[in-house]
Structure 1
Amino acid sequence: MSKVEEFEELRPLLFSIAYRILGSVGEAEDAVQETWLRFDGSSARPASAKAYLSAAVTRIAIDVLRSARVRREEYVGPWFPEPLLSDPYQDPARSVELADSVSMAALLLLERLSPLERAVFVLREVFAFGFDEVAAAVGRSESACRQLLVRARRHMEAGRPRFAADRQERQELARRFFEALKDGDVGGLQDLLASDVQLVGDGGGKAPQLARALMGAENVARVLGTVFPWLIRIDVTFEPHEVNGQPGAIFRDRDGKVLHILALEVRDGQIQTIRSVINPDKLGHLGPVADAWAIDREVKQARRSRRTGLGNDSPTAGVDPLQSGSS
């Protein structure tokens, strides 16, 4: 097998490792490309291409993460991972671990770990690498890696929900949620939301957003049930789609360009968290990106025209469509 063939066979695994360490599609793809350049430029053929390439992409990702952390500390508003619509690496024996580890909730928990803890956790806990392989990848002894894993597990377990919803329950709740959203059914939305539900948006200061942080079923249902009918009125559409292995949807403008994504976190039979990613820098890998500011202006113009016809006592008169709840 040629070097190219070996690398292409392992590319899905390499990307999946890098994405879980970095939380960025673009940075993960760059790390994989840099790994190829190192592999292609090496005159020696390693005994195990998988071990060599996994170690290389891990080291590159650790270095990138260390520099990325400074940027994330300066990020405007909440930082979310770049949405991933499908994980290229599949392993039936590790399907549960792979699905759980790519969710936005899990990736945000991984942000609490040091780069070394994160890499050790991903390699050992998610992909079941041996401790000898983990040690070689991160440049630490096996004993040190075991300690890193203990600390990482402690942080991860402390933040995980006690009762996770099964796939069928998540899909049914999501179906009902997006039907109510389409209809602007505030009561129907509220019935599906946990009392302490959070609606959180990642615009990075580069786009208007639903909310940086909004809490409570009544508040969240009111904002969602008011905003989305106006978006639909100006031909914004959405398609339900898994986002990071969880139920969600992709929203597009009338030209089919990506406006934003919603991802739902479900547990205990209710929707606990709704995350919106509208930062255009995080959507480009999904296709051409819509001009969110232009859509915001168009919605506001439609509302002004509507109020002129209905009078200022219209029930939607006090809600700013894409800025509600933002601070």
Structure 2
Amino acid sequence: MTPAEEFEHLRPLLFSIAYRILGSVSEAEDAVQETWLRYEASPTRAASPKAFLSATVSRIAIDVLRSARVRREAYVGQWFPEPLLTDPYEDPARAAELADSLSMAALLLLERLSPLERAVFVLREVFGFGFGDVASAVGRSEAACRQLAVRARRHMDAGRARFAADRRERAELAERFFDAFREGDFDGLRALLAADVRMVGDSGGKAPQWGESLFGAEKVARLVTAIVGPFLRIGGVVETREVNGQPGAILRDRDGKVVNTLALDILDGRVQTIRAVLNPDKLTHLGPVANAWAVVRETNRARRR
């Protein structure tokens, strides 16, 4: 294969590595493009294009993450990763690790790690790279990488829920949830929510919040039933989709523009967390973005009729 063909063959893997390190679709795409420029400019052919390109995109992503962490500390409100609908990289042998590492919950746990720990965890635990390749990618010794991997795994394991939902059970519960969601069925929603359910949004100060962080089945069910009915009456659409490998939805206005995304954490037969991304800067890769302020104003007018 030509260098360009080798790169295109590996592009899905490179994006998937960069996205998990960065939690940003746009930054991951930029990191992949910069990787190509460096690969194209290299005067020699790599013995292993996969190892070379994976190391290059990881180093670029680590550098970007270091500067991004400063911006995230000053971020207005709760920071969530940019929602991803489809992971371009598929590997049946590591399907479980890939799906688990893509969830909003896992990416938020990764935010607690240092950039080096995060990169080592992603390369080793998610994509199964040997420690030699991991060491080359992050510029540390194999022994140091083993220590980084142990620390990262300890942090990740401590933050994970103890019992993951069966994928089919999770899909069935999510279908019932969104049926009740569209119908404004208060009792139906409340029955599917954990008693201590959280509904949290990321607007970045650039979009309205349909309620700040809410806790408890009663409050969350009441807010949803108060808003979704009027939203649908003004032509809004709730489009169920997988969001970061989890059950979720895209809410669109009457023109099909994206208002926000929702992602559900489901455990022990209940919805534990609902995460909404409303920041328009994080939605542009999904298509044209709605004026959420205008949508909320119209929804509120419909509520009062």
* TM-score class, shorter: over 0.9
1:239-318 equivalences in 2 (<5 Å): 239-304=239-304, 306=305
- Give the alignment of 1:27-42 within 5 angstroms: 27-42=27-42
Deviation at 1:301, TM superposition (A): 2.5
Deviations 1:226-254 (A, max 9, x none): 11001101110011100000000111111
Matched with 1:185 is 185
Distance in 2 (CA, whole Å) between partners of 1:210 and 1:297 is 11
Give the TM-score normalised by structure 2.
0.99
Q: Does structure 1 residue 20 correspond to structure 2 residue 25?
A: no
SS in 2 for 1:239: strand
Is the 1:260–1:277 Cα contact (8 Å) retained in structure 2?
Answer: yes
**Residue-by-residue CA offset, 1:255-306 (whole Å, 9 max, x unaligned):** 11111111000001110000001110000000000110111121223234x1
CA distance in 1 between counterparts of 2:164 and 2:229 reads 31
For the 8 Å contact 1:35–1:53, the answer to whether it is kept is yes
After the TM superposition, which residues 216-255 of structure 1 pair with which residues of structure 2 at under 5 Å, given as runs? 216-255=216-255
Separation (CA, whole Å) in 1 of partners of 2:212 and 2:116: 30
Shift of 1:98: 0.3
Amino acid at match of 1:15: F
* 1:149 corresponds to: 149
Q: Once the 2 structures are TM-superposed, how far is the Cα of residue 199 of structure 1 from its aligned partner? A: 0.2
Q: Hey, what does 1:102 align to over in structure 2? A: 102
Alpha carbons 1:22, 1:65 under 8 Å: kept: yes
Is the contact between residue 109 and residue 156 of structure 1 (CA under 8 Å) also seen in structure 2?
yes
| Structure 2 residue aligned with 1:309 | none
Determine the C-alpha separation between the residues in 1 that align with 2:39 and 2:212: 42
Partner Cα separation in structure 2 for residue 259 and residue 85 of structure 1: 15
After superposition, the C-alpha distances for 1:198-230 in whole angstroms (9 at most, x for unaligned) are 000011100012233100000101001111001
User: Which one has a bigger Cα radius of gyration?
Assistant: 1
Amino acid at match of 2:32: V
Query: Which amino acid letter does the alignment assign opposite residue 57 of structure 2?
Result: V
Whether the 8 Å contact between 2:230 and 2:300 is mirrored in structure 1 is: no
- Check conservation: 1:238, 1:250, Cα contact below 8 A: yes
- Which amino acid in 1 is paired with 2:50? K
Q: Aligned residue for 2:131?
A: 131
Where does residue 88 of structure 1 map in the other structure?
88
Q: Secondary structure at the match of 2:161?
A: coil
Aligned to 2:242, the other structure's residue is in SS state coil
Structure 1 residue aligned with 2:166:
166
Distance 1:157 1:211 in 2: 31
Matches of 2:297 and 2:273, distance apart in 1: 27
* d(CA) in 1 for partners of 2:243, 2:286: 11
Q: Secondary structure at the match of 1:79?
A: coil
Matched, 1:176 2:158: no
1:99 shift after superposition: 0.3
Q: C-alpha separation between the residues in 2 aligned to 1:117 and 1:158?
A: 15
- Matched pairs, number: 305
Preserved CA contact (<8 Å) 2:201 2:277: yes
Q: What residue in structure 1 maps to residue 140 of structure 2?
A: 140
Contiguous gaps of at least 5 residues in structure 1: 307-327
Q: Secondary structure at the match of 1:71?
A: helix
TM-score, normalised by the number of residues in structure 1? 0.92
Q: For residue 44 of structure 1, what is the aligned residue in structure 2?
A: 44
Residues 252 and 290, structure 2, Cα contact 8 Å, conserved in 1 = yes
The structural deviation recorded for 1:160 is: 0.2
d(CA) in 1 for partners of 2:3, 2:131: 26
The CA distance in 2 between the partners of 1:170 and 1:279, in whole Å, is 27
What's the counterpart of residue 10 of structure 2? 10
CA distance in 1: counterparts of 2:247 and 2:64, whole angstroms? 29
User: Do the aligned residues in 2 keep the contact of 1:110 with 1:118 (CA within 8 Å)?
Assistant: yes
SS in 1 for 2:82: coil
Match of 1:51, as an amino acid? A
Report the AA paired with residue 111 of structure 2. E
Which runs of at least 4 in structure 1 moved beyond 3 Å after TM superposition? none
- What does 1:175-214 correspond to in 2, within 5 Å? 175-214=175-214
Mapped partners of 2:198, 2:298: distance in 1: 27
Conservation of the 8 A alpha-carbon contact between 2:227 and 2:299: no
Tell me, in whole angstroms, the C-alpha distance in 2 between the residues paired with 1:300 and 1:83. Answer: 26
